[in-house]
Structure 1
Amino acid sequence: MQGGKNAGESMKEKASNIGASAKAGMEKTKATVQEKAERMTTRDPLQKDLATQKKESKVDQAELDKRAARDQNAAAREHNAAAKQGAPYSTTGEHGHTTGFHHGTGGTYS
């Protein structure tokens, strides 16, 4: 049964990564189309260069967002794997309830 859960989580991670890639692709395409429209509507070389710079910035940001999503998915996978193995640093108990360790509650001790 454990193998089935791991396979399911792996599929969720892959699907999320595919979604992040698709979103990045859409953002890159939108940036390219917007750049072309802006370049067609002006004769000013500075405005054309500005449109290209804006496109490159948006493309770079889309790529960074995609990588961040992939990193987050990988971190979630590692966290879930550690939680299943009973990692000692976890502050959540069975069923996701806290174990009672509270930090910085401001209470006084007598």
Structure 2
Amino acid sequence: MQSGRNATGTVKESASNMAASAKAGMEKTKATLQEKGEKMTAHDPIQKEMAREKKDERKHEAEYEKEAKKELNAAQRQATGTTGTHTYTTTGTGHHTGTGGI
């Protein structure tokens, strides 16, 4: 059953990572579109440069949030013990199967 939990944890982590990537992509796209709109209405080169800097800042923030979410997902997976590697012992457990005197 342990391998089932490992697979579930990995799938959940992957799904959450994909969602974080998709969200970051949407934020980057919105930043780019907003910059284009601001550049179209701006008449001053300084305003156009400010729009570009604002876009770059939003894109960096989206990327940072995506990476932070991925790290959180990995930490949560490890905290629940679904790392994908488990060891089991095949040596005795202290229970005797023989007769009395051991």
Q: Which interval holds the TM-score relative to the shorter structure?
A: 0.7 to 0.9
1:42, CA displacement in angstroms? 1.1
Q: Which runs of 5+ in 1 are unaligned?
A: 86-110
Displacement of 1:66: 0.1
Are positions 1:26 and 2:21 aligned together? no
What value does the CA root-mean-square deviation take over the aligned residues?
A: 1.3
Per-residue deviation, residues 77-101 of structure 1 (Å, max 9, x unmatched) = 111118xx8xxxxxxxxxxxxxxxx
Higher relative contact order (CA 8 A, sep 6+): 2
**TM-score, structure 2 as length reference:** 0.78
Which one is further off, 17-26 or 71-80? 71-80
Deviation of 1:43 after TM superposition, in Å, equals 1.5
Point out the structure with max Rg over C-alpha: 2
Matches within 5 A, 1:70-81: 70-81=70-81
Query: What is the distance in 1 between the residues matched to 2:81 and 2:68?
Result: 20
* Alignment-mate amino acid for residue 46 of structure 1: I
> Tell me, what secondary structure is at the counterpart of 2:43?
coil
Q: Which residue of the partner structure matches residue 66 of structure 1?
A: 66
Q: In the alignment, residue 76 of structure 2 is paired with which amino acid?
A: A
For 1:20 and 1:42, how far apart are their aligned partners in 2? 32
Q: Which residue of 1 aligns with 2:15?
A: 15
* Equivalent residues, number: 83
Any gaps of 5 or more consecutive residues in structure 2?
87-102
TM-score (norm 1): 0.73
1:56 aligns with 56
Cα separation, 1, equivalents of 2:44 and 2:69: 38
- Paired residue type of 2:75: A
